[in-house]
Amino acid sequence: MIDVIIPTCKTAQATAPQVDAILDTAGCLAKIFVTCEPTWSAAQNRNLGLKSADLDIVVMVDDDVCEFPPGWLYHLTGTLETEHECVLVSARLLNEDGTPGPMTGEPPPTASTGLTVAKRLPTACIAFRNDGLRFDENFVGSGFEDDDFCAQLRQKYPTGTFIINEDVRVVHKNEMKNQGFIKGKGPVPGGVFEKNQAYYESKWGERA
């Protein structure tokens, strides 16, 4: 059994097709918790989901992820079992046209299958151990809370690795809700993106 969290401000009715798709393709038993909290904080919704998790491994899936391949949940979480130093594993995110989608740190695909090591990962479709770590709710809206979570993991596990399982490829629509970033134009001046970036840099002394 795997805990699957969908942190979302959408309603249960709106996310029902995604839940059905996850259960149909998981390849193992899954317990799904959909937060459905109309908050402007992605970090708060992520933590709300983690509060409900009581199993050793947690999977977190954004509400704009779809087209799950057969057995994806089994294969994604299996990476944590075979790669003992791995602290976070992600699916390879694709655009809707099937091309490689944007990922934190821009790790390019090394192959169509296998494992790719990354410096950090986005949290759109990930698996990690349920060790009590939480997202920083000082990040407002969305954006940079995933970079911060990776930084927390690096701090807690200095030898830990971040891995993309290339065998698990999902489509990420990348809706960028409440992120203060306009696709093709960049961040809104003085908006959420810039505020979160400044907070991240002040906290970690580095650029994300």
**CATH code of the domain covering residue 86:** 3.90.550.10
- 207 part of a folded domain: no
- 60 part of a folded domain: yes
Encoded amino acid at 29, one letter: L
Kindly state the average pLDDT of the residues 175-182: 58
Residue 94: pLDDT band with limits 50, 70, 90: very high
Is residue 25 pLDDT above 60, yes or no? Answer: yes
pLDDT in tens, 67-86: 999 999 999 999 999 999 99
pLDDT score, position 106 = 66
Q: What is d(CA 160, CA 88) in angstroms, rounded to the nearest whole number?
A: 8
Phi, psi of 74 (to 5 degrees): -60, -45
pLDDT score, position 37 = 87
HSE, CB side, 13 Å, CA atoms: give it for residue 97. Answer: 2
pLDDT score, position 40 = 77
Token duo for residue 199: 């907070």
Q: What is d(CA 160, CA 98) in angstroms, rounded to the nearest whole number?
A: 30
Token duo for residue 70: 């057969």
- 144 part of a folded domain: yes
Residue 143: pLDDT band with limits 50, 70, 90: confident
- 150 part of a folded domain: yes
- 184 part of a folded domain: no
Our CA dihedral for 163, 169, 173, 179, rounded to 10 degrees, sits at -10
HSE, CB side, 13 Å, CA atoms: give it for residue 152. Answer: 14
Residue 95: pLDDT band with limits 50, 70, 90: very high
Is residue 184 pLDDT above 90, yes or no? Answer: no
pLDDT in tens, 152-172: 999 999 999 999 999 999 999
In which residue are the tokens 């002040």 written?
202
pLDDT in tens, 39-64: 878 999 999 999 999 999 999 999 99
Is residue 89 pLDDT above 90, yes or no? Answer: yes
State which residues form the domain around 103. Answer: 2-178
- 206 part of a folded domain: no
Number of domains the chain contains: 1
Kindly state the average pLDDT of the residues 182-188: 52
- 195 part of a folded domain: no
Q: Rounded to a whole number, what is the largest CA-CA distance in the chain?
A: 45
Angle at the Cα of 59 from the Cα atoms of 130 and 66, rounded to 5 degrees: 170
- 185 part of a folded domain: no
